[in-house]
Amino acid sequence: MAGGCTNCTSSCKISLLEFALFKETALTITPPRFSALVGKPPTESLYDFSPLSVEALALAESLDQDGALCLSGIDDFGAISSLVTGSTEAVFNVIKVLNISISPLIERELELGIQRADECVTNWSMMGITRLFYYPSTLGSAQFGRISAATAHVYPDYTECRPDVDIPDNLTRN
């Protein structure tokens, strides 16, 4: 088991394909795409990698060769999980190549982490978790609506290696 997921270690190509669903959107994934991911184990022959660019495929191969840890599957809590763990620069490259929407704060933390890699040696991880949420659709009704939602989390293995970042006023608004 790794990252709360039994039998989930996969090639980085599968993880990048799943992270490509986050492309420029922070929250929702359509139910058919959600369902398609639920039923697939981390076996390359079961996936269509045509949505990935040549650059993304090359990055996935590089991650595998460099010993990055990539996970894909349903974790022990029932959530669909994708994970890439590697150098700060590797995680930053995944975000940039796939055009994943992250906060300016996290982007700056990664930039500083790359610049200061010799000062504080750590791997960084990006974890995507997809869940199906149910909500009451009408007051007093037993019927529920549903929405599939995904979140991406980026963090270092050692929290003391997370750089302090000053946030300019133009990045925060009331």
Segment 88-107 mean pLDDT: 93
Residue 79 has pLDDT above 80, yes or no: no
Q: What is the pTM of this model?
A: 0.81
Sorted by sequence, the CB contacts under 8 Å of residue 166 that are 6+ apart come out as none
Between CA 23 and CA 2 the distance in angstroms is: 25
What does the domain layout of the chain look like in residue ranges?
A: 12-160
Q: Lowest-pLDDT range, 19-28, 111-120, 141-150?
A: 19-28
pLDDT band at 30 (very low <50, low <70, confident <90, very high): low
Give dist(CA 65, CA 85) in Å, integer. 13
Q: Which two tokens stand for residue 96?
A: 């940039």
Spatial distance between the Cα atoms of 4 and 17, rounded to a whole number of angstroms: 21
